[in-house]
Structure 1
Amino acid sequence: MSETQAGTGGAAGDVVVLGGGVIGLTTAVILAERGMHVRVWSAQPPGETTSAVAGGLIWPYRIEPEKQALDWAVRSFRHFSWLAEQPPTTGVRLVRGRMPGSTPPPEWTALTGSPPRAPLVDMPSYLRYLAGRFESAGGRWEQRTARSLSEAAAAAPTVVNCAGLGARELVPDPAVRAVRGQLVVVENPGIEEWYVAVNDSATETTYILPQPYGVVLGGTAEDGAEQREPDPATAAAIVRRCAAVHPELATATVLEHRVGLRPFRPSVRLEAQRVPDGRGGTSLCVHNYGHGGAGVTVSWGCAVDAARLVGPP
Protein backbone atom coordinates (compact mmCIF):
# COMPACT_ATOMS: atom_id res chain seq x y z
CA MET A 1 0.00 0.00 0.00
CA SER A 2 1.36 3.42 -0.90
CA GLU A 3 1.70 6.28 1.58
CA THR A 4 -1.16 8.11 -0.13
CA GLN A 5 -3.45 5.09 0.17
CA ALA A 6 -2.61 4.61 3.83
CA GLY A 7 -3.17 8.29 4.69
CA THR A 8 -0.58 11.03 4.33
CA GLY A 9 -1.06 12.58 7.76
CA GLY A 10 1.56 10.51 9.55
CA ALA A 11 3.90 7.54 9.62
CA ALA A 12 2.71 3.95 9.68
CA GLY A 13 2.84 3.74 13.49
CA ASP A 14 0.86 6.95 14.10
CA VAL A 15 -2.55 6.68 15.79
CA VAL A 16 -5.15 9.27 16.73
CA VAL A 17 -7.53 8.18 19.49
CA LEU A 18 -10.76 10.18 19.61
CA GLY A 19 -12.04 10.55 23.17
CA GLY A 20 -10.24 11.11 26.47
CA GLY A 21 -12.54 9.15 28.80
CA VAL A 22 -11.73 5.78 30.30
CA ILE A 23 -12.27 3.86 27.05
CA GLY A 24 -10.10 6.21 25.00
CA LEU A 25 -7.34 6.53 27.58
CA THR A 26 -7.13 2.79 28.24
CA THR A 27 -6.93 2.03 24.53
CA ALA A 28 -4.32 4.76 24.09
CA VAL A 29 -2.23 3.33 26.94
CA ILE A 30 -2.14 -0.13 25.36
CA LEU A 31 -1.22 1.21 21.93
CA ALA A 32 1.46 3.55 23.29
CA GLU A 33 2.98 0.79 25.42
CA ARG A 34 3.19 -1.32 22.26
CA GLY A 35 5.47 1.30 20.75
CA MET A 36 3.01 3.24 18.60
CA HIS A 37 2.99 7.04 18.35
CA VAL A 38 -0.38 7.90 19.88
CA ARG A 39 -2.24 11.18 20.23
CA VAL A 40 -5.51 11.52 22.11
CA TRP A 41 -7.91 14.16 20.84
CA SER A 42 -10.46 15.16 23.45
CA ALA A 43 -12.64 18.22 24.03
CA GLN A 44 -12.24 17.87 27.81
CA PRO A 45 -9.39 16.82 30.09
CA PRO A 46 -9.91 13.29 31.50
CA GLY A 47 -11.15 14.65 34.84
CA GLU A 48 -14.00 16.47 33.11
CA THR A 49 -15.28 13.56 31.00
CA THR A 50 -18.31 11.40 31.76
CA SER A 51 -15.92 8.75 33.11
CA ALA A 52 -14.98 11.02 36.03
CA VAL A 53 -18.60 10.88 37.23
CA ALA A 54 -18.77 7.07 37.36
CA GLY A 55 -19.27 5.38 40.72
CA GLY A 56 -16.35 3.05 39.96
CA LEU A 57 -17.58 -0.43 40.95
CA ILE A 58 -16.28 -3.06 38.55
CA TRP A 59 -19.48 -4.92 37.74
CA PRO A 60 -21.26 -5.39 34.36
CA TYR A 61 -24.18 -2.95 34.08
CA ARG A 62 -26.40 -1.84 31.17
CA ILE A 63 -24.25 -3.15 28.33
CA GLU A 64 -24.92 -5.40 25.36
CA PRO A 65 -24.21 -7.97 24.02
CA GLU A 66 -24.30 -9.58 27.46
CA LYS A 67 -22.13 -12.63 26.71
CA GLN A 68 -19.38 -10.63 25.01
CA ALA A 69 -19.55 -7.96 27.71
CA LEU A 70 -19.01 -10.60 30.38
CA ASP A 71 -15.82 -11.74 28.62
CA TRP A 72 -14.55 -8.14 28.45
CA ALA A 73 -15.48 -7.63 32.11
CA VAL A 74 -13.74 -10.81 33.29
CA ARG A 75 -10.54 -9.84 31.51
CA SER A 76 -10.74 -6.29 32.84
CA PHE A 77 -11.43 -7.55 36.38
CA ARG A 78 -8.10 -9.37 36.37
CA HIS A 79 -6.22 -6.23 35.36
CA PHE A 80 -8.02 -4.09 37.94
CA SER A 81 -7.18 -6.70 40.60
CA TRP A 82 -3.53 -6.36 39.61
CA LEU A 83 -3.80 -2.56 39.79
CA ALA A 84 -5.23 -2.87 43.31
CA GLU A 85 -1.91 -4.44 44.35
CA GLN A 86 0.12 -1.53 42.96
CA PRO A 87 0.80 1.78 44.75
CA PRO A 88 -2.39 3.55 45.90
CA THR A 89 -1.96 6.22 43.22
CA THR A 90 -3.79 3.90 40.79
CA GLY A 91 -7.01 4.66 42.68
CA VAL A 92 -8.06 0.98 42.64
CA ARG A 93 -8.93 -1.04 45.75
CA LEU A 94 -10.45 -4.49 46.29
CA VAL A 95 -13.50 -4.00 48.51
CA ARG A 96 -16.11 -6.40 49.86
CA GLY A 97 -19.78 -5.73 49.36
CA ARG A 98 -23.19 -7.21 48.74
CA MET A 99 -25.75 -7.25 45.98
CA PRO A 100 -29.01 -8.66 47.37
CA GLY A 101 -31.49 -10.16 44.94
CA SER A 102 -28.91 -10.60 42.19
CA THR A 103 -27.37 -13.83 40.95
CA PRO A 104 -24.21 -13.12 38.95
CA PRO A 105 -23.11 -15.60 36.25
CA PRO A 106 -20.74 -18.32 37.48
CA GLU A 107 -17.77 -16.79 35.62
CA TRP A 108 -18.21 -13.62 37.68
CA THR A 109 -18.79 -15.42 40.99
CA ALA A 110 -15.55 -17.32 40.42
CA LEU A 111 -13.74 -13.98 40.40
CA THR A 112 -15.55 -12.14 43.18
CA GLY A 113 -16.14 -15.03 45.58
CA SER A 114 -18.86 -15.04 48.23
CA PRO A 115 -19.30 -12.58 49.83
CA PRO A 116 -18.30 -10.60 46.75
CA ARG A 117 -14.98 -8.77 46.68
CA ALA A 118 -14.61 -6.54 43.64
CA PRO A 119 -12.41 -3.67 42.46
CA LEU A 120 -13.73 -0.25 43.45
CA VAL A 121 -12.17 2.60 41.50
CA ASP A 122 -11.70 6.19 42.65
CA MET A 123 -12.28 7.58 39.16
CA PRO A 124 -10.59 11.01 39.47
CA SER A 125 -7.42 9.36 40.82
CA TYR A 126 -7.62 6.53 38.30
CA LEU A 127 -7.98 8.85 35.32
CA ARG A 128 -4.91 10.78 36.51
CA TYR A 129 -3.06 7.47 36.76
CA LEU A 130 -4.06 6.48 33.21
CA ALA A 131 -3.07 9.88 31.84
CA GLY A 132 0.33 9.63 33.56
CA ARG A 133 0.87 6.08 32.31
CA PHE A 134 -0.03 7.22 28.78
CA GLU A 135 2.41 10.13 28.88
CA SER A 136 5.15 7.91 30.32
CA ALA A 137 4.73 5.65 27.27
CA GLY A 138 5.31 8.62 24.98
CA GLY A 139 1.66 9.46 24.29
CA ARG A 140 0.40 12.99 23.79
CA TRP A 141 -2.96 14.47 24.81
CA GLU A 142 -4.45 17.30 22.74
CA GLN A 143 -7.51 19.38 23.58
CA ARG A 144 -9.15 19.07 20.21
CA THR A 145 -12.52 17.99 18.81
CA ALA A 146 -12.71 16.13 15.51
CA ARG A 147 -15.54 17.38 13.32
CA SER A 148 -15.50 14.15 11.31
CA LEU A 149 -13.67 10.84 11.10
CA SER A 150 -12.09 12.06 7.88
CA GLU A 151 -10.50 14.98 9.74
CA ALA A 152 -8.79 12.54 12.09
CA ALA A 153 -7.92 10.23 9.20
CA ALA A 154 -6.11 13.11 7.52
CA ALA A 155 -3.85 13.35 10.59
CA ALA A 156 -2.90 9.68 10.98
CA PRO A 157 -3.12 6.40 9.06
CA THR A 158 -4.99 4.84 12.01
CA VAL A 159 -7.89 6.31 13.98
CA VAL A 160 -9.52 4.75 17.04
CA ASN A 161 -12.98 6.12 17.69
CA CYS A 162 -13.68 6.11 21.44
CA ALA A 163 -15.93 9.16 21.32
CA GLY A 164 -18.68 7.71 23.52
CA LEU A 165 -21.86 9.76 23.24
CA GLY A 166 -20.07 12.00 20.76
CA ALA A 167 -20.08 9.13 18.22
CA ARG A 168 -23.76 9.90 17.66
CA GLU A 169 -22.80 12.98 15.62
CA LEU A 170 -19.22 12.11 14.71
CA VAL A 171 -19.83 8.84 12.83
CA PRO A 172 -22.82 9.62 12.68
CA ASP A 173 -24.54 6.78 14.57
CA PRO A 174 -28.19 7.34 15.55
CA ALA A 175 -28.15 4.08 17.56
CA VAL A 176 -26.17 5.85 20.31
CA ARG A 177 -28.30 7.47 22.98
CA ALA A 178 -27.81 8.99 26.41
CA VAL A 179 -28.83 7.25 29.63
CA ARG A 180 -28.72 9.90 32.33
CA GLY A 181 -27.25 9.01 35.71
CA GLN A 182 -27.42 11.16 38.83
CA LEU A 183 -25.66 10.53 42.14
CA VAL A 184 -24.87 12.22 45.44
CA VAL A 185 -21.53 12.27 47.28
CA VAL A 186 -21.72 12.55 51.08
CA GLU A 187 -19.26 12.42 53.97
CA ASN A 188 -18.58 8.86 55.04
CA PRO A 189 -20.16 8.06 58.43
CA GLY A 190 -18.06 4.88 58.70
CA ILE A 191 -19.22 2.65 55.82
CA GLU A 192 -16.56 0.24 54.59
CA GLU A 193 -18.41 -2.10 52.19
CA TRP A 194 -20.25 -1.37 48.96
CA TYR A 195 -23.91 -2.16 48.42
CA VAL A 196 -25.88 -2.43 45.17
CA ALA A 197 -29.56 -3.32 44.70
CA VAL A 198 -31.45 -3.17 41.42
CA ASN A 199 -34.91 -1.75 42.07
CA ASP A 200 -38.14 -2.83 40.42
CA SER A 201 -38.05 0.41 38.46
CA ALA A 202 -35.78 0.29 35.42
CA THR A 203 -34.88 3.94 36.04
CA GLU A 204 -33.55 3.50 39.58
CA THR A 205 -30.91 1.54 41.45
CA THR A 206 -29.67 1.82 45.00
CA TYR A 207 -25.93 1.81 45.43
CA ILE A 208 -23.56 2.86 48.19
CA LEU A 209 -19.89 3.03 47.25
CA PRO A 210 -17.30 4.12 49.85
CA GLN A 211 -14.53 6.12 48.21
CA PRO A 212 -11.53 7.92 49.74
CA TYR A 213 -13.28 11.28 49.23
CA GLY A 214 -16.70 10.22 50.61
CA VAL A 215 -19.55 7.83 49.89
CA VAL A 216 -21.10 7.78 46.42
CA LEU A 217 -24.88 7.30 46.58
CA GLY A 218 -26.95 6.41 43.55
CA GLY A 219 -28.50 6.18 41.27
CA THR A 220 -30.67 6.68 38.19
CA ALA A 221 -30.83 5.41 34.61
CA GLU A 222 -33.06 7.74 32.60
CA ASP A 223 -33.07 6.51 29.02
CA GLY A 224 -32.90 9.35 26.50
CA ALA A 225 -32.64 12.11 29.13
CA GLU A 226 -29.83 14.63 28.58
CA GLN A 227 -30.35 17.18 31.37
CA ARG A 228 -26.93 17.79 32.90
CA GLU A 229 -28.09 19.77 35.93
CA PRO A 230 -28.80 17.77 39.14
CA ASP A 231 -32.46 17.49 40.06
CA PRO A 232 -33.04 18.21 43.80
CA ALA A 233 -36.02 15.83 44.05
CA THR A 234 -34.00 13.02 42.45
CA ALA A 235 -31.11 13.68 44.84
CA ALA A 236 -33.44 13.53 47.85
CA ALA A 237 -34.92 10.24 46.63
CA ILE A 238 -31.43 8.77 46.22
CA VAL A 239 -30.50 9.68 49.79
CA ARG A 240 -33.78 8.21 51.11
CA ARG A 241 -33.20 4.88 49.33
CA CYS A 242 -29.62 4.65 50.60
CA ALA A 243 -30.62 5.67 54.14
CA ALA A 244 -33.04 2.74 54.22
CA VAL A 245 -29.91 0.55 54.06
CA HIS A 246 -27.64 2.67 56.26
CA PRO A 247 -29.77 5.09 58.39
CA GLU A 248 -26.74 7.23 59.25
CA LEU A 249 -26.63 8.40 55.62
CA ALA A 250 -29.84 10.39 56.15
CA THR A 251 -27.92 13.07 58.05
CA ALA A 252 -24.54 12.80 56.30
CA THR A 253 -23.21 16.08 54.92
CA VAL A 254 -23.67 16.36 51.17
CA LEU A 255 -20.37 17.11 49.44
CA GLU A 256 -21.31 17.05 45.78
CA HIS A 257 -24.02 16.31 43.22
CA ARG A 258 -23.00 14.61 39.96
CA VAL A 259 -24.70 13.94 36.64
CA GLY A 260 -23.31 11.86 33.79
CA LEU A 261 -24.70 10.77 30.43
CA ARG A 262 -23.88 7.12 29.77
CA PRO A 263 -23.20 6.41 26.06
CA PHE A 264 -25.61 3.51 25.49
CA ARG A 265 -25.97 1.55 22.28
CA PRO A 266 -28.06 -1.61 21.66
CA SER A 267 -24.72 -3.33 21.07
CA VAL A 268 -21.17 -2.09 21.70
CA ARG A 269 -19.49 -1.23 18.43
CA LEU A 270 -16.02 -2.72 18.32
CA GLU A 271 -14.99 -3.21 14.71
CA ALA A 272 -12.72 -1.83 11.98
CA GLN A 273 -13.49 -0.07 8.72
CA ARG A 274 -11.75 2.16 6.20
CA VAL A 275 -12.62 5.87 6.17
CA PRO A 276 -11.70 8.58 3.65
CA ASP A 277 -8.67 10.65 4.61
CA GLY A 278 -9.69 13.69 2.57
CA ARG A 279 -6.82 13.22 0.10
CA GLY A 280 -8.24 10.49 -2.07
CA GLY A 281 -6.99 7.68 0.16
CA THR A 282 -8.27 5.95 3.29
CA SER A 283 -7.22 5.33 6.87
CA LEU A 284 -8.03 2.46 9.17
CA CYS A 285 -10.70 3.37 11.73
CA VAL A 286 -11.32 1.11 14.73
CA HIS A 287 -14.58 1.85 16.54
CA ASN A 288 -14.75 1.25 20.30
CA TYR A 289 -17.86 2.94 21.72
CA GLY A 290 -21.37 2.41 23.07
CA HIS A 291 -20.46 0.83 26.44
CA GLY A 292 -23.43 2.22 28.38
CA GLY A 293 -22.97 2.06 32.15
CA ALA A 294 -20.11 -0.46 32.02
CA GLY A 295 -17.34 1.51 30.34
CA VAL A 296 -14.97 1.25 33.29
CA THR A 297 -15.86 -2.39 33.91
CA VAL A 298 -15.04 -3.56 30.37
CA SER A 299 -12.37 -0.99 29.53
CA TRP A 300 -9.28 -3.23 29.50
CA GLY A 301 -10.91 -6.13 27.66
CA CYS A 302 -12.29 -3.80 24.98
CA ALA A 303 -9.00 -1.91 24.69
CA VAL A 304 -7.04 -5.12 24.06
CA ASP A 305 -9.51 -6.19 21.36
CA ALA A 306 -9.38 -2.73 19.77
CA ALA A 307 -5.57 -2.86 19.76
CA ARG A 308 -5.72 -6.22 17.98
CA LEU A 309 -7.80 -4.62 15.23
CA VAL A 310 -5.22 -1.83 14.94
CA GLY A 311 -2.52 -4.42 14.44
CA PRO A 312 1.23 -4.30 15.15
CA PRO A 313 3.16 -1.00 15.16
Structure 2
Amino acid sequence: MTIATLPAEPGELPPPAARGRRVAGWLLLPGTAILLVFFFYPLAFIVWRSVSEPEFGFSHYLALLDDGVSVVVLLRTLWTALLVGLCTLVIAYPYAYAMTRVGPKARGILLLLVLLPFWTSVMARNFAWYLLEQRGGVIDRAFAALGVNDVVLLGTVVGVTVAMVQVMLPFMVLPLYSAMSTIDGKLLDAATSLGAPRHRAFRTVYLPLSLPGVISGFSLVFILTLGFYITPALLGSPQEALISQVIETRVSDLTDFAGGGALGGVLLVVTLLVLFAVSRIARPVASLSRAVDHA
Protein backbone atom coordinates (compact mmCIF):
# COMPACT_ATOMS: atom_id res chain seq x y z
CA MET A 1 0.00 0.00 0.00
CA THR A 2 1.33 3.43 -0.95
CA ILE A 3 0.66 6.61 0.90
CA ALA A 4 0.06 9.67 -1.27
CA THR A 5 1.91 12.81 -0.29
CA LEU A 6 -0.49 15.68 0.16
CA PRO A 7 0.58 19.04 -1.26
CA ALA A 8 1.87 21.49 1.28
CA GLU A 9 -0.66 24.01 2.53
CA PRO A 10 0.16 27.70 2.23
CA GLY A 11 2.56 28.61 5.01
CA GLU A 12 3.77 25.04 5.51
CA LEU A 13 7.36 23.94 4.83
CA PRO A 14 7.95 22.00 1.56
CA PRO A 15 8.91 18.31 1.77
CA PRO A 16 12.56 17.52 2.66
CA ALA A 17 13.33 16.24 -0.87
CA ALA A 18 12.09 19.49 -2.43
CA ARG A 19 14.09 21.54 0.06
CA GLY A 20 17.18 19.47 -0.73
CA ARG A 21 16.83 20.05 -4.47
CA ARG A 22 16.33 23.75 -3.89
CA VAL A 23 19.42 24.00 -1.70
CA ALA A 24 21.45 22.01 -4.24
CA GLY A 25 20.32 24.40 -6.98
CA TRP A 26 21.48 27.43 -4.99
CA LEU A 27 24.81 25.75 -4.22
CA LEU A 28 25.39 25.06 -7.93
CA LEU A 29 24.56 28.63 -8.93
CA PRO A 30 27.97 30.29 -8.12
CA GLY A 31 29.98 27.60 -9.94
CA THR A 32 27.65 27.66 -12.92
CA ALA A 33 27.86 31.45 -13.12
CA ILE A 34 31.67 31.35 -13.02
CA LEU A 35 31.78 28.73 -15.80
CA LEU A 36 29.37 30.75 -17.95
CA VAL A 37 31.26 34.04 -17.54
CA PHE A 38 34.88 32.89 -17.59
CA PHE A 39 34.72 29.76 -19.77
CA PHE A 40 31.67 29.38 -22.00
CA TYR A 41 31.37 33.06 -22.95
CA PRO A 42 35.03 33.47 -24.06
CA LEU A 43 34.84 30.14 -25.87
CA ALA A 44 31.65 31.11 -27.67
CA PHE A 45 33.14 34.52 -28.53
CA ILE A 46 36.24 32.92 -30.06
CA VAL A 47 34.17 30.49 -32.12
CA TRP A 48 31.89 33.33 -33.25
CA ARG A 49 34.86 35.42 -34.43
CA SER A 50 36.21 32.45 -36.37
CA VAL A 51 33.00 32.24 -38.44
CA SER A 52 32.04 35.94 -38.62
CA GLU A 53 35.25 37.76 -39.63
CA PRO A 54 35.49 39.34 -42.14
CA GLU A 55 32.10 37.93 -43.15
CA PHE A 56 29.98 35.06 -41.95
CA GLY A 57 31.16 31.71 -43.26
CA PHE A 58 33.63 28.91 -42.76
CA SER A 59 36.43 30.35 -44.88
CA HIS A 60 38.96 30.17 -42.04
CA TYR A 61 38.22 26.50 -41.43
CA LEU A 62 38.48 25.72 -45.14
CA ALA A 63 41.77 27.63 -45.27
CA LEU A 64 43.20 25.28 -42.65
CA LEU A 65 42.74 22.42 -45.09
CA ASP A 66 44.29 24.32 -47.99
CA ASP A 67 47.48 25.72 -46.42
CA GLY A 68 48.88 22.24 -45.69
CA VAL A 69 50.75 23.41 -42.59
CA SER A 70 47.81 23.32 -40.19
CA VAL A 71 46.97 19.70 -41.05
CA VAL A 72 50.58 18.64 -40.49
CA VAL A 73 50.69 20.50 -37.16
CA LEU A 74 47.40 18.94 -36.05
CA LEU A 75 48.61 15.44 -36.94
CA ARG A 76 51.91 16.10 -35.13
CA THR A 77 49.98 17.28 -32.07
CA LEU A 78 47.76 14.18 -32.10
CA TRP A 79 50.79 11.92 -32.49
CA THR A 80 52.63 13.67 -29.65
CA ALA A 81 49.59 13.43 -27.36
CA LEU A 82 49.21 9.73 -28.19
CA LEU A 83 52.91 9.09 -27.56
CA VAL A 84 52.86 10.97 -24.25
CA GLY A 85 49.77 9.05 -23.17
CA LEU A 86 51.32 5.67 -24.00
CA CYS A 87 54.66 6.51 -22.33
CA THR A 88 53.00 7.74 -19.15
CA LEU A 89 50.80 4.63 -19.09
CA VAL A 90 53.80 2.31 -19.40
CA ILE A 91 55.59 4.09 -16.56
CA ALA A 92 52.59 4.75 -14.32
CA TYR A 93 50.91 1.33 -14.45
CA PRO A 94 53.58 -0.65 -12.57
CA TYR A 95 54.14 2.31 -10.24
CA ALA A 96 50.45 2.48 -9.31
CA TYR A 97 50.35 -1.31 -8.97
CA ALA A 98 53.29 -1.17 -6.57
CA MET A 99 51.46 1.45 -4.51
CA THR A 100 48.65 -1.05 -3.91
CA ARG A 101 51.00 -3.90 -2.92
CA VAL A 102 53.28 -2.18 -0.39
CA GLY A 103 52.62 -1.24 3.22
CA PRO A 104 51.14 2.04 4.44
CA LYS A 105 54.51 3.76 5.06
CA ALA A 106 55.96 2.83 1.67
CA ARG A 107 52.66 3.80 0.02
CA GLY A 108 52.83 7.20 1.66
CA ILE A 109 56.37 7.73 0.31
CA LEU A 110 55.36 6.67 -3.21
CA LEU A 111 52.32 8.96 -3.07
CA LEU A 112 54.52 11.81 -1.87
CA LEU A 113 56.83 11.32 -4.85
CA VAL A 114 53.83 11.54 -7.17
CA LEU A 115 52.46 14.70 -5.55
CA LEU A 116 55.87 16.38 -5.26
CA PRO A 117 55.81 17.80 -8.82
CA PHE A 118 52.55 19.63 -7.99
CA TRP A 119 54.50 21.62 -5.41
CA THR A 120 57.02 22.76 -8.03
CA SER A 121 56.30 25.38 -10.64
CA VAL A 122 55.71 24.08 -14.15
CA MET A 123 58.03 26.79 -15.45
CA ALA A 124 60.81 25.65 -13.09
CA ARG A 125 60.44 22.04 -14.25
CA ASN A 126 60.52 23.03 -17.90
CA PHE A 127 63.58 25.24 -17.44
CA ALA A 128 65.26 22.29 -15.70
CA TRP A 129 64.55 20.17 -18.78
CA TYR A 130 65.87 23.04 -20.92
CA LEU A 131 69.22 22.78 -19.12
CA LEU A 132 69.24 18.99 -19.37
CA GLU A 133 68.42 18.82 -23.09
CA GLN A 134 70.52 21.68 -24.46
CA ARG A 135 73.84 21.21 -26.23
CA GLY A 136 76.45 20.42 -23.60
CA GLY A 137 73.78 19.53 -21.08
CA VAL A 138 73.65 16.46 -18.87
CA ILE A 139 71.97 14.28 -21.50
CA ASP A 140 74.42 15.33 -24.22
CA ARG A 141 77.44 14.68 -21.97
CA ALA A 142 76.05 11.31 -20.81
CA PHE A 143 75.66 10.07 -24.39
CA ALA A 144 79.08 11.51 -25.32
CA ALA A 145 80.61 9.43 -22.53
CA LEU A 146 79.06 6.37 -24.18
CA GLY A 147 80.52 7.33 -27.55
CA VAL A 148 77.39 8.91 -29.06
CA ASN A 149 77.95 12.57 -29.85
CA ASP A 150 75.57 15.48 -30.57
CA VAL A 151 72.50 14.08 -28.78
CA VAL A 152 70.64 17.38 -28.41
CA LEU A 153 66.96 16.93 -27.59
CA LEU A 154 66.19 20.62 -27.28
CA GLY A 155 64.00 21.80 -30.17
CA THR A 156 62.83 18.33 -31.13
CA VAL A 157 59.57 16.41 -30.72
CA VAL A 158 61.46 13.77 -28.71
CA GLY A 159 62.66 16.39 -26.24
CA VAL A 160 59.17 17.84 -25.88
CA THR A 161 57.70 14.36 -25.41
CA VAL A 162 60.20 13.40 -22.70
CA ALA A 163 59.50 16.57 -20.73
CA MET A 164 55.73 16.29 -21.14
CA VAL A 165 55.80 12.68 -19.91
CA GLN A 166 57.39 13.89 -16.68
CA VAL A 167 54.87 16.73 -16.35
CA MET A 168 51.84 14.53 -17.08
CA LEU A 169 52.90 11.48 -15.09
CA PRO A 170 50.91 12.36 -11.92
CA PHE A 171 47.73 12.72 -13.98
CA MET A 172 48.15 9.08 -15.01
CA VAL A 173 49.30 7.63 -11.70
CA LEU A 174 46.47 9.01 -9.58
CA PRO A 175 43.53 7.64 -11.68
CA LEU A 176 45.29 4.30 -11.97
CA TYR A 177 45.88 4.09 -8.23
CA SER A 178 42.28 5.11 -7.55
CA ALA A 179 41.03 2.21 -9.68
CA MET A 180 43.58 -0.33 -8.50
CA SER A 181 43.05 0.42 -4.81
CA THR A 182 39.50 -0.94 -5.11
CA ILE A 183 40.65 -4.30 -6.53
CA ASP A 184 40.90 -7.12 -4.03
CA GLY A 185 44.42 -8.53 -4.23
CA LYS A 186 43.15 -11.93 -3.13
CA LEU A 187 41.58 -12.39 -6.56
CA LEU A 188 45.02 -13.04 -8.06
CA ASP A 189 45.84 -15.50 -5.28
CA ALA A 190 42.56 -17.26 -5.89
CA ALA A 191 43.24 -17.50 -9.64
CA THR A 192 46.75 -18.92 -9.08
CA SER A 193 45.42 -21.40 -6.51
CA LEU A 194 43.08 -22.72 -9.22
CA GLY A 195 46.05 -23.48 -11.48
CA ALA A 196 46.39 -20.32 -13.58
CA PRO A 197 49.94 -19.01 -14.07
CA ARG A 198 50.67 -15.68 -12.46
CA HIS A 199 50.86 -13.79 -15.75
CA ARG A 200 47.61 -15.30 -17.00
CA ALA A 201 45.82 -14.52 -13.76
CA PHE A 202 47.01 -10.93 -14.05
CA ARG A 203 45.91 -10.67 -17.69
CA THR A 204 42.48 -12.23 -17.24
CA VAL A 205 41.55 -10.96 -13.76
CA TYR A 206 43.50 -7.91 -12.65
CA LEU A 207 43.91 -6.12 -15.99
CA PRO A 208 40.15 -6.00 -16.85
CA LEU A 209 39.39 -4.63 -13.39
CA SER A 210 42.00 -1.87 -13.83
CA LEU A 211 40.85 -0.83 -17.31
CA PRO A 212 38.56 1.99 -16.02
CA GLY A 213 41.62 3.63 -14.45
CA VAL A 214 43.61 3.09 -17.65
CA ILE A 215 40.93 4.74 -19.78
CA SER A 216 40.37 7.70 -17.45
CA GLY A 217 44.10 8.33 -16.97
CA PHE A 218 44.95 8.00 -20.67
CA SER A 219 42.08 10.25 -21.78
CA LEU A 220 43.03 12.88 -19.17
CA VAL A 221 46.68 12.92 -20.24
CA PHE A 222 45.80 12.88 -23.94
CA ILE A 223 43.40 15.83 -23.68
CA LEU A 224 45.75 17.88 -21.50
CA THR A 225 48.62 17.24 -23.91
CA LEU A 226 46.58 18.38 -26.93
CA GLY A 227 46.36 21.95 -25.65
CA PHE A 228 49.52 22.15 -23.55
CA TYR A 229 51.54 25.25 -24.36
CA ILE A 230 54.39 25.88 -21.90
CA THR A 231 56.50 22.80 -22.59
CA PRO A 232 56.31 22.93 -26.43
CA ALA A 233 56.96 26.70 -26.36
CA LEU A 234 60.10 26.41 -24.21
CA LEU A 235 61.55 23.13 -25.45
CA GLY A 236 60.17 22.90 -28.99
CA SER A 237 60.98 24.78 -32.18
CA PRO A 238 59.01 26.56 -34.92
CA GLN A 239 59.87 23.74 -37.33
CA GLU A 240 58.38 21.15 -34.94
CA ALA A 241 55.57 23.32 -33.57
CA LEU A 242 52.41 21.95 -31.99
CA ILE A 243 48.96 23.43 -32.42
CA SER A 244 49.15 25.55 -29.26
CA GLN A 245 52.26 27.31 -30.58
CA VAL A 246 50.60 27.99 -33.94
CA ILE A 247 47.55 29.49 -32.21
CA GLU A 248 49.80 31.74 -30.13
CA THR A 249 51.71 32.86 -33.23
CA ARG A 250 48.54 33.68 -35.14
CA VAL A 251 47.06 35.67 -32.29
CA SER A 252 50.15 37.45 -30.91
CA ASP A 253 52.36 37.92 -33.96
CA LEU A 254 49.90 37.99 -36.86
CA THR A 255 46.87 39.38 -34.93
CA ASP A 256 44.79 36.82 -36.84
CA PHE A 257 42.17 36.28 -34.17
CA ALA A 258 39.74 34.58 -36.54
CA GLY A 259 42.35 32.14 -37.82
CA GLY A 260 43.53 31.38 -34.28
CA GLY A 261 39.91 30.90 -33.25
CA ALA A 262 39.43 28.45 -36.12
CA LEU A 263 42.41 26.42 -34.92
CA GLY A 264 41.01 26.54 -31.40
CA GLY A 265 37.64 25.39 -32.73
CA VAL A 266 39.27 22.44 -34.49
CA LEU A 267 41.09 21.54 -31.28
CA LEU A 268 37.80 21.75 -29.37
CA VAL A 269 36.10 19.42 -31.87
CA VAL A 270 38.98 16.93 -31.58
CA THR A 271 38.72 17.03 -27.79
CA LEU A 272 34.96 16.42 -27.91
CA LEU A 273 35.47 13.50 -30.30
CA VAL A 274 38.03 12.00 -27.92
CA LEU A 275 35.62 12.36 -25.00
CA PHE A 276 32.84 10.76 -27.07
CA ALA A 277 35.09 7.84 -28.02
CA VAL A 278 36.16 7.39 -24.40
CA SER A 279 32.54 7.34 -23.25
CA ARG A 280 31.70 4.69 -25.85
CA ILE A 281 34.68 2.56 -24.86
CA ALA A 282 34.16 3.00 -21.12
CA ARG A 283 30.67 1.44 -21.12
CA PRO A 284 31.63 -2.08 -22.23
CA VAL A 285 34.82 -1.87 -20.16
CA ALA A 286 32.80 -1.05 -17.06
CA SER A 287 30.45 -3.94 -17.81
CA LEU A 288 33.41 -6.29 -18.29
CA SER A 289 34.96 -5.09 -15.05
CA ARG A 290 31.75 -5.73 -13.14
CA ALA A 291 31.41 -9.17 -14.73
CA VAL A 292 34.94 -10.14 -13.71
CA ASP A 293 34.35 -8.74 -10.23
CA HIS A 294 31.18 -10.81 -9.76
CA ALA A 295 32.65 -13.98 -11.27
Q: Which category describes the TM-score, using the shorter chain as reference length?
A: under 0.3
Structure with the larger helix share: 2
Structure with the greater alpha carbon radius of gyration: 2
What is the TM-score of this pair, normalised by structure 1? Answer: 0.21
What is the TM-score of this pair, normalised by structure 2? Answer: 0.22
Structure with the larger strand share: 1
Q: Which has the higher contact order (CA 8 A, sep 6+)?
A: 1
